[in-house]
Structure 1
Amino acid sequence: MRPETSTWTPPPTDPEQPRQMRRILRLFRPYRGRLALVGVLVGASSLVSVATPFLLREILDTAIPQGRTGLLSLLALGMIASAVVTSVFGVLQTLISTTVGQRVMHDLRTAVYDRLQRMSLAFFTRTRTGEVQSRIANDIGGMQATVTSTATSLVSNLTSVVATVVAMLALDWRLTVVSLLLLPVFVAVSRRVGRERKKIATERQKQMAVMAATVTESLSVSGILLGRTMGRADSLTRSFAEESDDLVDLEVRSNMAGRWRMSVISVVMAAMPAVIYWAAGLALHFGGPAVSIGTLVAFVSLQQGLFRPTVSLLSTGVQIQTSLALFQRIFEYLDLPIDITEPEKPVRLAEVKGDVRFENVAFRYDESGTPILQGIDAEVPAGGSLAVVGPTGSGKSTLSYLVPRLYEVTGGSVTLDGVDVRDLDFDTLARGIGVVSQETYLFHASVADNLRFAKPEATDEELVAAATAAQIHDHITSLPDGYDTVVGERGHRFSGGEKQRLAIARTILRDPPVLILDEATSALDTRTEHAVQEAIDALSANRTTITIAHRLSTIRAADQIVVLDGGLISERGSHEALLAQDGAYAALVRRDARMKPETDAPGTTDPASPRSGGGSGGSSTEAPVELEPTK
């Protein structure tokens, strides 16, 4: 049930708020020179604008009554010059402050993105993509007004208030006291409103993150396919409408929180000129010191000038309170612990030979969780091949992800060329280890750009050589735009087999000494699998290869096969040796043989253009043994 605004009690002051404010101020530290210039412009602008009422007093009390036209002209020109200078200074300070604010937002976005790039794979498996996107887009975007204009507004209005109060005291201290009697009450009210809006802003940003996640998941190509084929389009729309309705409620509450109280402040301050005239009249009536017409008009002009910056200053305080909720969400991401870090003095291998060894390896996702792997010992010499098979949940993919440090071992070690991978620099790992998984990811860019993601400096000839080795060059050249063809969102303009071969070509271009094949053909039909397997064979030549097997026919020639069961190695040996043992591996082979048809269906071809080349979109001629899906 939604809380009633009228019955909500504001929370006590957040003890973390001073620390957060100091942290926010540190964001502006690199730009303190430009901010100092803004301060100078603001101060100068405030002083110039305050001079106008004094010029007005001289016009009313001296120049007009005494008929001094020359003085009158000078004073009038002075008022015009004051307005011009104030406007010029205002434009300059807006330019500088907006530039600084946008640079601060750039720094925040980059810092969050860099932090997320360094998070382990485990973080992304438990975090919705839309949530991550919302932090970068909505939360940082929501702070734009704060970092681009609030700081300048705060300095400008504060300077204006101080200068105006000093000028008012110089004109008449008694009228100044009357004008400022209610100011402490106004400050207390604005702080209360700020706390209310901060709480609502936190709820609003969470709801925006939920909506972003829903849009990302349900409006992707895969989401649309799933929704349509499951007949859930209408229910997804209703669910989104409910989430949007909740956001509407939060937006209204955020905008209306304290609105009546702030309106009362505006009315009171707007009525202050009448109070000033009344007070001056009473003072004269009861024999007090007379106030000249010029002084009275100048004072009211100052008092009216005080109204705008004071209300703006109070509103700025409310905005800062609200923005603290957004900063807090961003700081949560910036403070995320990085599970996998590069050592202080990393080892860099000039050349990776490809010798991989698992020594008593253990892994669990958290300290109190169930072990996923334990006591794993295996060795893959440079240029050798290791195949890993086992039932669903046995830890096959997890084991392979320990080599490039996508996950971190919790026991034992994984070494590359005799060096613990935890001691290697990230560049050596990225340069030495390539991964081809079942779920191929392609960017919404051209074929050439997707291939060059592995090697940005690759020449056109190198692209062609890699694509030819992966048996996808002929298909690419048959497309209207060739290598400039845009692959579409997640590569959905290409079939499963074509995407897989593009991924293989991308890996060939990078030329890693160690290759990890994670269920690389499990989603393909038999005929497409054969074509992709030929490309994989070309890729695997003269490389250390670790294959996570789904179809056992793809790993018969492996130098060594290990069978995982419950995170432990239950069997190991060559294909022939394991068959002779007649254990778990032999049982899997027999099951695989029973599920495979005697012959492929006659006339089976890969799906036609634009998805020619085979793919998971066509009907399969084989029902594969479902040993374990990816991960």
Structure 2
Amino acid sequence: MKTLDLMKRFAPYFKKYRATLALDLFCASLTTLCELVLPLIVRYITNTGMTDLESLTVQMILSLGALYLVLRVIDAVANYYMANIGHVMGARIETDMRRDLFGHLQKLSYSYYSNTKVGQIMARVTSDLFDVTEFAHHCPEEYFIAAIKIIASFAILGTMNIWLTLIIFSILPVMLVCSMYFNKKMRRAFKASRDQIGELNAQVEDSLLGVRVVKSFANEALEEEKFKEGNHKFLDIKRKMYRYMAGFQTTTRVFDGIMYIVVVVAGALFMINRQITPADLMAYLLYVTTLLTSIRRIVEFTEQFQRGMTGIERFGEIMDAPIDIKNVPDALPLRKVDGDIEFRHVSFQYSDDHTEVLSDINLHVRPGDSVAVVGPSGSGKTTLCNLIPRFYDVTAGEVLLDGKNIKDFTLHSLRSQIGVVQQEVYLFSGTIFENIEYGRPGASREEVIDAAKKAGAHAFITQLSDGYDTYVGERGIKLSGGQKQRISIARVFLKDPPILILDEATSALDNESERVVQESLEKLAHGRTTLTIAHRLTTIRNATVIWVLTEKGVEEQGSHKELMEKQGVYYHLYRMYQDTMTR
């Protein structure tokens, strides 16, 4: 993205803090005033000493010294404000951007996370926005100071000798062109650096979360080699980045020298021709020093500027990611739910590869029915159920709840009425109590314990050292699969939704854990409209209706008895499952 476009995108974040920014820039102008006054004082004393030494009294010198001392006090107070409040303003802007970024991430659909590495997202939420704090504070400040110094210096020096001033300032555009060349190179290098650090984060996260698999296959050396490759790639990018930075800084130093030598040589020639006084030439050198000091600060800030621009650009890339699933205009909150679900001519395909998963599906679930969805892997069982809470939106057709299109309801109210128990349980890093309470934030301890009892989890929880306050570890690593699943069921019990989706909730458990969890699920499903996706077909024989989903669509539907008598797809799936279990 172009720098101007990025600045326009970033500018609204200053709106809340425009008073702070205005005061910060006012303080910046005060500190600049102090630097601009010193050469004038030196020039005045030098000129007076050379032309009328007797008029240069002690009182005058002390008065000028006192004036400069007052200016230095003002400079110190202004600089304190800039360093303190100015930086806090930058931190507040960073906080606002991180809030907006996280809020946008919460609204993005499953498909976004299916195609984006979490490590890349983490880099953008953390390290990328760290650079914005310094950028937000220093960018307006440094360029404002530089603008004041350049304009004021030109005006003051022009009164001394306009031709020497024009010669000096004619060098600045050439310096600017060279700087812009290296700036573009640095921007690309910084962007590549940020992208690669995101890849490294993703790789480290992947390796550490899968550390048990790594160790079980004794593949530590392989992981180190993969990391080494990514780490060296990052080093190569940094080498290129620092090469451009070195070129930028070297070019600036060369122009520094050119400007000094021009002032000395041209100024001396003008002085020989009596077109400039020695005092004015001395003032020239001081102003050029002030000017070059300001340019050096801009040079030093350029690295931070490019980091900030890169952070804003990567921030914008996420913020520009479209929210595929959102509330339609005039969406209404869903209040009372009977649990009547209908799929009417539903088709679905993923947006990234346009592979059609479901085609013209027509199904109906009556309130309180227990529906089982079976079929071979890849037939779209999970996708079909994910359409109900709008984790994905249909490509064609509509899903109805109690006779109304689910898109007519707000997302929050719709999902609040649906409980999902998945095969892969996710527990947050925290206590057992906090993980169960997540089903209904703010629930009392008694309500949490009651939900755990219904889920068959209370007995094992009370046997733990800290009971409900036991820390479960990252992703619940300290608990067994069956224990984690029962906590996830307790979470749904606490939520108490009228519609329930069980996505292969017992397929990863051993027989004993499956039996306990299955009993909990049966309690949970009682009186609710339930859709169960199952591989273990013995667990769904009591379902009201079974849907057999294949790549051709819904091939069969009926009760277990009806489908077995039909001896079709379900019959063969069931017999195959039984044969597998008896081996």
Q: Give the alignment's TM-score, normalised by structure 1.
A: 0.87
Cross-structure match for 1:75: 64
Cross-structure match for 1:56: 42
Q: 1:270 to 1:487 in 2, by over 3 A?
A: same
Contact 2:406 2:414 in 1 (8 A): yes
Partners of 2:350 and 2:31 in 1: CA distance: 59
Cross-structure match for 2:569: 584
Partners of 2:546 and 2:249 in 1: CA distance: 74
CA deviation profile, 1:572-628 (whole Å, cap 9, x unmatched): 11111111111111222222222224xxxxxxxxxxxxxxxxxxxxxxxxx8xxxxx
Cross-structure match for 1:612: none
Cross-structure match for 2:403: 418
Cross-structure match for 1:257: 244
Name the SS of the counterpart of 2:356 in structure 1: coil
Contact 1:446 1:486 in 2 (8 A): yes
| Mapped pair 1:433 → 2:422 | no
Q: 1:289 to 1:239 in 2, by over 3 A?
A: same
- The equivalences for 1:470-549 within 5 A come to 470-549=455-534
Give the residue type in structure 1 aligned to 2:7.
Answer: M
CA deviation profile, 1:103-128 (whole Å, cap 9, x unmatched): 22222222222222111112212222
| Mapped pair 1:150 → 2:131 | no
Partners of 1:161 and 1:84 in 2: CA distance: 24
Name the SS of the counterpart of 1:378 in structure 2: strand
Cross-structure match for 1:197: 186
Cross-structure match for 2:88: 99
Name the SS of the counterpart of 1:181 in structure 2: helix
Worse-superposed segment, 497-506 or 339-348: 339-348
| Mapped pair 1:87 → 2:76 | yes
Partners of 2:24 and 2:253 in 1: CA distance: 28
Q: Which runs of 5+ in 2 are unaligned?
A: none
Give the residue type in structure 2 aligned to 1:73.
Answer: L
Partners of 1:412 and 1:289 in 2: CA distance: 86
How much has 1:339 moved relative to structure 2? 1.2
Worse-superposed segment, 361-370 or 330-339: 361-370
Cross-structure match for 2:24: 38
Partners of 1:264 and 1:364 in 2: CA distance: 55
- The equivalences for 1:317-332 within 5 A come to 320=305, 323-332=308-317
Worse-superposed segment, 259-268 or 225-234: 259-268
Contact 1:59 1:75 in 2 (8 A): no
Q: 1:289 to 1:183 in 2, by over 3 A?
A: same
| Mapped pair 1:466 → 2:466 | no
Cross-structure match for 1:457: 442
Cross-structure match for 2:334: 349
How much has 1:49 moved relative to structure 2? 2.6
Partners of 2:153 and 2:5 in 1: CA distance: 32
Partners of 1:577 and 1:568 in 2: CA distance: 19
Structure 2 residue aligned with 1:225, among 204, 209, 212? 212
Contact 1:49 1:83 in 2 (8 A): no
Cross-structure match for 1:604: none
Partners of 1:148 and 1:440 in 2: CA distance: 44
Contact 2:30 2:74 in 1 (8 A): no
Contact 2:161 2:275 in 1 (8 A): no
Partners of 1:88 and 1:346 in 2: CA distance: 54
| Mapped pair 1:596 → 2:581 | yes
**Number of paired residues?**
580
Q: 1:518 to 1:284 in 2, by over 3 A?
A: closer
Contact 1:476 1:482 in 2 (8 A): yes
Q: 1:482 to 1:79 in 2, by over 3 A?
A: same
Partners of 2:255 and 2:175 in 1: CA distance: 10
Cross-structure match for 1:246: 233
CA deviation profile, 1:241-275 (whole Å, cap 9, x unmatched): 11111111211221220524532432442564554
Give the residue type in structure 1 aligned to 2:233.
Answer: D
Contact 1:195 1:321 in 2 (8 A): no
Give the residue type in structure 2 aligned to 1:56.
Answer: V
How much has 1:17 moved relative to structure 2? 4.3
Cross-structure match for 1:444: 429
Cross-structure match for 1:614: none
| Mapped pair 1:22 → 2:15 | no
Structure 2 residue aligned with 1:116, among 98, 105, 123? 105
Structure 1 stretches of 4+ with a deviation exceeding 6 A read none
Q: 1:20 to 1:82 in 2, by over 3 A?
A: same
Partners of 1:147 and 1:513 in 2: CA distance: 49
Contact 1:395 1:567 in 2 (8 A): no
Give the residue type in structure 2 aligned to 1:36.
Answer: A
Worse-superposed segment, 344-353 or 462-471: 344-353
Partners of 1:379 and 1:194 in 2: CA distance: 62
Q: 1:535 to 1:33 in 2, by over 3 A?
A: same
Partners of 1:448 and 1:454 in 2: CA distance: 11
Name the SS of the counterpart of 2:554 in structure 1: strand
Q: 1:431 to 1:25 in 2, by over 3 A?
A: same
Name the SS of the counterpart of 2:502 in structure 1: strand
Partners of 1:273 and 1:361 in 2: CA distance: 76
Worse-superposed segment, 382-391 or 367-376: 367-376
| Mapped pair 1:300 → 2:285 | yes
How much has 1:468 moved relative to structure 2? 0.7
Q: 1:360 to 1:271 in 2, by over 3 A?
A: closer
Q: 1:267 to 1:82 in 2, by over 3 A?
A: farther
How much has 1:37 moved relative to structure 2? 1.9
The two structures, once aligned, show a CA RMSD in angstroms of 2.2
Contact 1:158 1:309 in 2 (8 A): no
How much has 1:156 moved relative to structure 2? 2.1
Partners of 1:184 and 1:17 in 2: CA distance: 19
Contact 1:197 1:257 in 2 (8 A): yes
Higher helix share: 2
